[in-house]
A and B are shown apart, each in its own frame.
Chain A
């Protein structure tokens, strides 16, 4: 067939295309240009979110370490009470940084090393007995970090004031924790350009890392903090002793702090720097993605809010509530789960975030 045949066909096709473009320009379903400064969002994340939060956490661990130092040299009830207060503050602050499990934090397995629970109290007692502590070792993970402190400071089985062996174990654990926290905070300080330069949407990009880790941490609230103790993974049989911070009973405060931290991050607010900046919510708004007859950005915000409200409705301590107030626990669990769906499907899809390293040709 002669060339002009193809050329005529092609020009027809192009003509058709341009007609369609004109007719589609006015259907008003999305922006004609996606106007969003991703780099500015990454800058806000690094400067106003990650950095100040890490610094605040490091400070809170230092404060705890100092309070413990005072108690260690003078083991009085008054000093122990001061330790407990600083411990709770540090654990709450930890909830604001544990979803940054990428970059320098991932390099040292920050979250796993500081917060593997339920803690193995028999293992702790053995280690207390033989005076050893091997921070970060695989077999030490469930006998270190905050959960170990929770047991040492709050369990009725432990008489910290009168047991030098327990005090030594706590001291070693705290030394490990403050070293780790200092290392990570220092590493983050020099991570600025790496974080800002990874400005794509692939799995190794900063946006990709943030979205994937935020989702993972949010799912941990659902599964580890609430689901498992409530029996969601054990055919309905609750396991109250597996709650986070079982001995101090601050499980719900920690869960709420975690939820608030993620929600605030989503909205572009940070409670340590008191700064507001470009956020995931703004990004989704700029994309104009719709869900349930409204902007996806607003829907996610509302569902975060709803999850928070349902969570604070749980009365008393969580280890009791999973037995005695299952309706409230279930309501909170469902509200949290509802948002997981949108966070793991609609949001990454809209942002174009890729979740695996594999080659792709499918979707």
Chain B
């Protein structure tokens, strides 16, 4: 009973809204920046306008790429709604709009999948239901919502828990043979950065790759605990900055380091966040309810739904255990599991379209239909190879070849080992239906 009382207190006691409100401001601002960066890099064009074919997520075949103008509208909505989140203006509406527009865009093409996009979608979904706008917001200032000085503690703990899952699972994923015993892929990636000033030469030593691998795993596994503990927190945050700046400096991983650095601020004390708001000149709106308990309107359902949300994330990454073969090779159950910067994989795929009436075949280089990024992603991921084969069947049907058979010669190198045949080259991929069942046509690694 004592334990459950303690748990109850941890989750439902009233605590300052400041950390949650600050998280809202930082997240919204970063998303605005990230959306504008994506736009100005010309990636809307290269990712969503130029390709004539998009790889679908299993179960989301209904998500189609809208007409060009509508893609820009979607990104416009993303930008406006992330500003709405940051300002806390019509917050629930904009949080929902951001979640929907962002997630829809991410679902258009699997080949764009990044763990940090998944993270953004999850956080955005959470924010829709959290009272992050109840203070330090325009909604509170203009009394569109009843200002609150406090919130139930679980509305903040849930974000900490979400961040902890990301780190811890990323750490668990690093506990594999290649990473720990061979320092792969860092042993390949670090010497490639030998040109960098000051530390460049240092990166060419093998022991540095080992040190980075082990330190990276130790960091991911321990940082949630170190952030949660009050005494270790300042050191932990210093480690957060050092770790993410290093990855930002070494690898092209976009805004992710900044998202993580700013997100982990939520572990800091309410007092720290209140001072930060004072420093930023964002005033606290008066809470007329005084010391009364603030519980979200969906008080009974919300904790339950959040528990399910967390349970899903704790379980889903383990689905790979249900598949035969090596995870990094087959990638069955690889996504949505915080497997970040874990392997160096490159592939080459040539497709053979056979006309069953004549027995003759034609070779198709995927470059004829796909963007550079799509080709790169497809050539190492069996489900995408399958989708492209089915696309080719339709494409050649259109060209007058009925019932075309599509086979693929795919060669993949993983973590610097010599390339090997990846899938069964004799199999007509059109006879295979995509699904969650194990893909027994993937050839074994080693």
- Residues of chain A whose beta carbon lies under 8 Å from any beta carbon of chain B: 1, 3, 6, 9-10, 13-14, 17, 20-21, 24-25, 29-36, 38-39, 199-202, 219, 223, 227, 232-237, 287, 289-292, 296, 337, 340-342, 344-346, 348-363
Q: Cβ of A345 and Cβ of B355 under 8 Å apart?
A: no
Residue in chain A with minimal CB distance to B339: A362
3 nearest CB pairs, A to B: A352-B192, A359-B254, A34-B191
Q: Cβ of B348 and Cβ of A39 under 8 Å apart?
A: no
Segment of B88-96, B306-314, B409-417 in the binding face: B409-417
Among B205, B207, B361, max chain A CB count under 10 A is at B207
- What B residues does A289 contact at CB under 8 A? 416
Tell me whether B55 is interfacial, beta carbon within 8 Å.
Answer: no
Residue in chain A with minimal CB distance to B230: A3
- Residues of chain B whose beta carbon lies under 8 Å from any beta carbon of chain A: 41, 43, 46-47, 112-116, 180-183, 185, 187-189, 191-196, 204-207, 210-211, 214-215, 218, 222, 225-226, 229, 231-232, 251-256, 340-348, 350, 355, 358, 360-365, 372-373, 376-377, 380, 401, 411-413, 416, 418-419
CA A346 to CA B158, docked complex, whole Å: 43
| Overall SS of chain B's interface | mixed
Q: Cβ of B419 and Cβ of A30 under 8 Å apart?
A: no
The one of B195, B211, B360, B380 that contacts A38, using a Cβ cutoff of 8 Å:
B195
Q: Cβ of B344 and Cβ of A349 under 8 Å apart?
A: yes
CA A32 to CA B206, docked complex, whole Å: 5
The one of B181, B185, B194, B255 that contacts A24, using a Cβ cutoff of 8 Å:
B181
Q: Cβ of A3 and Cβ of B362 under 8 Å apart?
A: no
The one of A14, A32, A223, A346 that contacts B419, using a Cβ cutoff of 8 Å:
A346
Q: Cβ of A341 and Cβ of B206 under 8 Å apart?
A: no
CA A202 to CA B211, docked complex, whole Å: 24
Among B192, B344, B355, max chain A CB count under 10 A is at B192
Q: Cβ of A345 and Cβ of B180 under 8 Å apart?
A: no
The one of A32, A39, A340 that contacts B205, using a Cβ cutoff of 8 Å:
A32
Contacts A20-B210, A351-B192, A355-B376 hold; do A362 and B187 have CB atoms under 8 A apart?
no
Q: List 19 A-B contacts (CB under 8 A).
A: A6-B226, A20-B181, A20-B214, A21-B210, A30-B206, A34-B191, A38-B195, A200-B196, A234-B362, A236-B360, A291-B418, A352-B189, A352-B193, A357-B41, A358-B252, A359-B254, A360-B114, A361-B115, A361-B253
- What A residues does B232 contact at CB under 8 A? 3, 6
Contacts A20-B180, A32-B207, A236-B360 hold; do A342 and B41 have CB atoms under 8 A apart?
no
Q: Cβ of A349 and Cβ of B413 under 8 Å apart?
A: yes
Q: Cβ of A349 and Cβ of B418 under 8 Å apart?
A: no
Q: Cβ of A363 and Cβ of B373 under 8 Å apart?
A: no
- What B residues does A345 contact at CB under 8 A? 346-348, 411-413, 419
The one of B255, B362, B416 that contacts A235, using a Cβ cutoff of 8 Å:
B362
Q: Cβ of A344 and Cβ of B346 under 8 Å apart?
A: yes
